[in-house]
Amino acid sequence: MFSFGQLLLGLGTSILLSLALPWILVFLYTVWARQQGVNGREKLLAELGQPPDRRVVGYFHPYCNAGGGGERVLWTAIVRSQRNEPNVVSVVYSGDIDASKEEIIAKVKLRFDIVLDPSSLHFVFLEKRWLVEDATWPAFTLLGQSIGSMILTWEAITNVVPHLFIDTMGYAFSFPVVSLIASVPTGAYVHYPTISTQMLKRVTNRQSGVTNRNFISQSIVLTYGKLLYYRIFMFYYSRALRMASFKMANSSWTKNHVDAILVHRDPLLEFANTFSLARFLFAGPPASAHKQSAQIVYPSCDTRAMSSFPLTPREPVVLSVAQFRPEKNHAAQLQALAALLKQHPSTPAKFVLLGGARNDDDLQRVDTLRLLARNLGVEDHVEFVVNASYAEVLEWLAKSSVGLSTMVDEHFGINVVELMAAGVIPVSHASGGPLHDIIVSFEGKPTGYHARTPEEFADAIHIALTLPEDEAQEMRQRARTWAVQAFSEDEFERTWNTSGWRDVLEEGYTQSQ
Ligand SMILES: *[C@@H]1O[C@H](CO)[C@@H](O)[C@H](O)[C@H]1NC(C)=O
Ligand SMILES: *[C@@H]1O[C@H](CO)[C@@H](O)[C@H](O)[C@H]1NC(C)=O
Ligand SMILES: *[C@@H]1O[C@H](CO)[C@@H](O)[C@H](O)[C@H]1NC(C)=O
């Protein structure tokens, strides 16, 4: 059935898996201890002055005070729950031991303008966050952080057992721990998959390349080792993810990756797993038995500042808002401008490349771009705006006609949402989030353009700049209406609702009675 090499692989796997034994003993001990003890809920509800029949939802977000996009999702979910569900109390498992509950709530207000109600919100402060920090695991980072997150989850759950546990930071290995210790239902909101099937494929290809070319045996061992490492990791990652009762993804890019992971199959490891103790921990269904795919829940974008700009008059400005990072592909914008000037020498278009420069490399890149503009003979039509203030960004958004985004395979593209909300007609590279999530047709009509080559970009920009006034106006309005609505908090709440979290929560509550 299996070749000799595969059997060796299987044997190695079983040995590796059995290393998990001590951990499993710790968990079993905890299960036992938990059955004797309390779950922390009564005490917490009493402290908050809430009746004992409240439902408790736990959000696992060890970096909840970081103030980034992921945190915005967390606080929006919680504030919406507070507004709509008076019988739900939210618990955040946080590793920010230096900040108090009041401080975190104040920062959320300041940073996101989200007002949290302290009477139905509780924080469990975790001491062991260092276990998931990059610096703790210079080697075997994936594995180290995953085991670290399991111990961190253990710390969280032994403090307060919720009725529903939602991981909002991508620690899928928390699910087996929660299931084992507390048998509570779990849910996932995924921003970014920890490992992707592509990554695994890349390592696999490298491995076959090495064996074919008959490299020295040491490198074969190393590559085999790495492949095995990734394979085992992917196998258990997909098992862990499948344990969640619902899975949400922040974009179609993430959803596609998560869906591929959910149906990931590895018969050999499946076989090895039946003899390993890890199977009691990762009790999720095999890929063949899994039907549910991830559901997209877009984070809400704050478009209030730009969505009231008048749609006219607009200057013939073609605006790009993107940090001067290599992947943003600013050179393609200059090439598009060169193509545009070649086809339409009298075009009034003026390109404005606006963006932050984080360091010397970025600044150097700006210099190189200026040089390129000169070499292409387009420097009179370009303006670089480096490190503009937010107010300046808004000014440009208010007067530009066309917006430009040239990054290839951008996962999302919040800058494109902002262009559209500002009434700027977007032209983006035909890939990633701008193609699949953002510049899509609305009410059967386009909300912008896509392009690949400099010539296609030039064509699209020319079309957008020369639309008849009424058509331009309609398209600006359509782009704005769509962007503001699709990435609004209401839409976030509506799609979050359809994950079915409420039913899962009731299930968890009933089970605990
Ligand atoms: C999803 O999360 C990833 C990782 O944080 C981020 O790069 C991406 O922009 C997010 N997508 C959306 C729609 O916010
Ligand atoms: C832009 O801002 C960053 C950080 O705020 C700073 O490090 C950098 O030096 C600034 N660059 C310029 C050109 O002012
Ligand atoms: C989400 O569900 C709650 C009830 O659980 C309801 O009050 C709220 O209106 C729903 N929100 C949306 C936008 O559908």
386 lines ligand 2 (CB under 6 A): yes
pLDDT digits (tens, 9 = 90+) for 377-417: 999 999 999 999 999 999 999 999 999 999 999 999 999 99
Helix (H) or strand (E) holding 69: helix 69-84
For residue 135, is it within any domain?
A: yes
Question: Averaged over 189-208, what is the pLDDT?
Answer: 83
- Which ligand is closest to the CA of 417, given by its number? 1
Within this chain, do residues 324 and 262 fall inside the same structural domain, yes or no? no
In a shared domain, residues 333 and 260: no
pLDDT in tens, 158-182: 899 999 999 999 999 999 999 888 8
Residue 2 lies in a domain: no
Do 259 and 316 fall within a single domain? no
* 121 pLDDT higher than 70: yes
Is there a single domain that holds both residue 256 and residue 349? no
In a domain, 164, yes or no: yes
Task: Tell me: do 279 and 136 sit in the same domain.
Answer: yes
Please tell me if the CB atom of residue 363 comes closer than 6 angstroms to any atom of ligand 2: yes
pLDDT digit string (tens) for 48-77? Answer: 999 999 999 999 999 999 988 899 999 999
424 CA to centre of ligand 2 in angstroms: 27
What pLDDT is attached to residue 126? 97
Count the neighbouring beta carbons within 10 Å of the beta carbon of residue 207.
17
Q: Cα 103 to the chain's mean position, in Å?
A: 26
Distances (CA, A) of 288 to 190, 256, 263: 22, 18, 7
Mutate to test the pocket of ligand 2, among 387, 389, 392, 393 (most ligand atoms within 8 A of CB): 387
- CA gap 353, 371 in Å, rounded: 14
pLDDT tens digit string along 258-274? 999 999 999 999 888 88
What pLDDT does 204 receive? 76
Three-state DSSP at 439 gives coil
Q: 374 and 284 share a domain? A: no
Domain range for residue 368? 303-487
Does a structural domain hold residue 3?
no
Does 196 fall in a domain? Answer: yes
Q: Does an H or E element contain 427, and which?
A: strand 425-429
Distance 396 CA to ligand 2 centre (A): 20
Q: Are residues 321 and 422 in the same domain?
A: yes
In terms of domains, do 212 and 295 share one? yes
CATH number for position 309: 3.40.50.2000
Q: Which of 78, 79, 494 to mutate to test the pocket of ligand 3 (most atoms within 8 A of CB)?
A: 494
Q: List the CATH number of the domain containing 92.
A: 3.40.50
* 464 in the same domain as 423: yes
pLDDT at 38 over 90: no
The answer to whether residues 251 and 309 belong to one domain is no
**Residue 201 alpha carbon to ligand 3 centre in Å:** 41
Residue 308 sits in the same domain as residue 258: no
For residues 328 and 406, is the Cβ–Cβ distance under 8 A? yes
At 18 the pLDDT is: 66
Ligand 3 pocket, residues with Cβ under 6 angstroms: 84-85, 490, 493-494, 497, 502
**Does 202 map to a domain?**
yes
Total domains, the chain: 2
Centre of ligand 3 to C-alpha 497, Å, is 6
**Is the pLDDT assigned to residue 117 strictly greater than 60?**
yes
Judged against a pLDDT cut of 70, whether residue 34 lies above it is answered with no
pLDDT score of 20: 65
Comparing 12-21, 207-216, 222-231, 298-307, the range with the smallest average pLDDT is 207-216
12 in a domain, yes or no?
no
- More confident of the two residues 213 and 153: 153
Give dist(CA 332, CA 316) in Å, integer: 19
Give the residue, out of 71, 412, 414, 440, with the most ligand 1 atoms within 8 A of its beta carbon, to mutate for a pocket test: 412
C-alpha 413 to ligand 2 mean position (Å): 22
In a domain, 125, yes or no: yes
Nearest CA to ligand 3 atom 8: 84
How high is the pLDDT of residue 207? 60
Q: Is 357 in the pocket of ligand 2 (CB under 6 A)?
A: yes
User: Which residues, other chains included, contact 289 with Cβ-Cβ below 8 Å and sequence gap of 6+?
Assistant: none
Regarding whether 381 and 332 lie in a shared domain, the answer is yes
Query: How much is the pTM?
Result: 0.86
Residue 349 to residue 60: CA distance in whole angstroms: 49
What is the pLDDT at residue 391?
A: 94
Ligand 1 binding pocket, CB closer than 6 Å: 69-70, 191-192, 250-251, 254, 298-299, 411-412
210 or 268, higher pLDDT: 268
CA 17 to chain centre: 29
